[in-house]
Amino acid sequence: MMTIYVLWMRQIKRYFRSKARIIGSLGQPILFLVALWFGFGPMYQKAGGGNYIEFLAPGIICMSILFTSLFAGIEVIRDKQFGFLKETLVAPVSRLNIMIGRTLGGASIAIFQWILVLGISLAIWFRPDNWWILMVALGFMFLVSILFTALWTALASQMDDMHGFQLVMNFLVMPIFFLSWALFPIDNFPPALRIVANFNPLSYGVDGIRWALTGVSYYGISHDFIVLTSISIICLIVGTYLFARMEA
């Protein structure tokens, strides 16, 4: 348990020591919220979709979590290069504890990022349907954070080159983000893309958070929870296995 706590706190301290990273990570959510709301909002309303900011805000919150969790993978490669990971791996502790500690650290940072993005959303007239269900939204955000932090950490454990990792992430992150419910409904997607979206774990995170914030759900809240929990557990197990085979 001490190993989990130390790694958890180390991730958080790293984040808060870098003010540029905190400020810089807010630029993309603000751009998407403002530009898409003013750009697509009138068309979305004319098409009978209602207030676009209510649809968009949960998706941008998930986008922030998705991109913030990338730093967990980047830090694995950086720790490899500077030798900290080697010291951690040779210690007489479980690789599972190392994986959990790193994942919780990345997830906590992503949750903090969510708070900032939610504050920005509230500032531009987004209002949750029920303030009391914000804790449900927080639970789904935690699951999304755990899932993608564990996924990126597992992938980074098998790579040594920072540039190669960033290329792989760009190849995966953008399709995951755009082929979800984050920016627009997928009802009118071509059948092939709709199948891809249904296999996209972020779709269930966005859907669960959107239900908690606006009361609208496509898959159903229980289905979202089961899918996200199952995939999160799988990512943790696979990540632990890859960590066990990794050489720092």
How many whole angstroms separate alpha carbon 174 and alpha carbon 171?
Answer: 7
In the block, tokens 């959303």 appear at 121
Q: How many CA atoms within 13 Å lie on the side-chain side of 93? A: 22
Most confident of 70-79, 98-107, 149-158: 149-158
pLDDT, tens digit, for every residue of 48-67? 767 888 888 888 888 888 88
Q: Is 100 left (phi over 0), alpha (psi -120 to 50) or beta?
A: alpha
Q: What percent of the chain has pLDDT over 90?
A: 12
Whole-prediction pTM? 0.86
Cβ proximity of 103 and 244 under 8 Å = no
Name the amino acid, one letter, at 116.
Answer: L
- Mean pLDDT in residue range 125-134: 74
Is pLDDT at 219 greater than 70 in this prediction?
yes
pLDDT, tens digit, for every residue of 144-157? 988 998 888 888 88
Regarding predicted confidence, which is higher, 212 or 42? 212
Is pLDDT at 248 greater than 60 in this prediction?
no
Outline where the chain has alpha helix (H).
Answer: 2-17, 19-46, 52-68, 70-82, 84-90, 95-123, 134-156, 162-178, 191-198, 201-214, 221-245
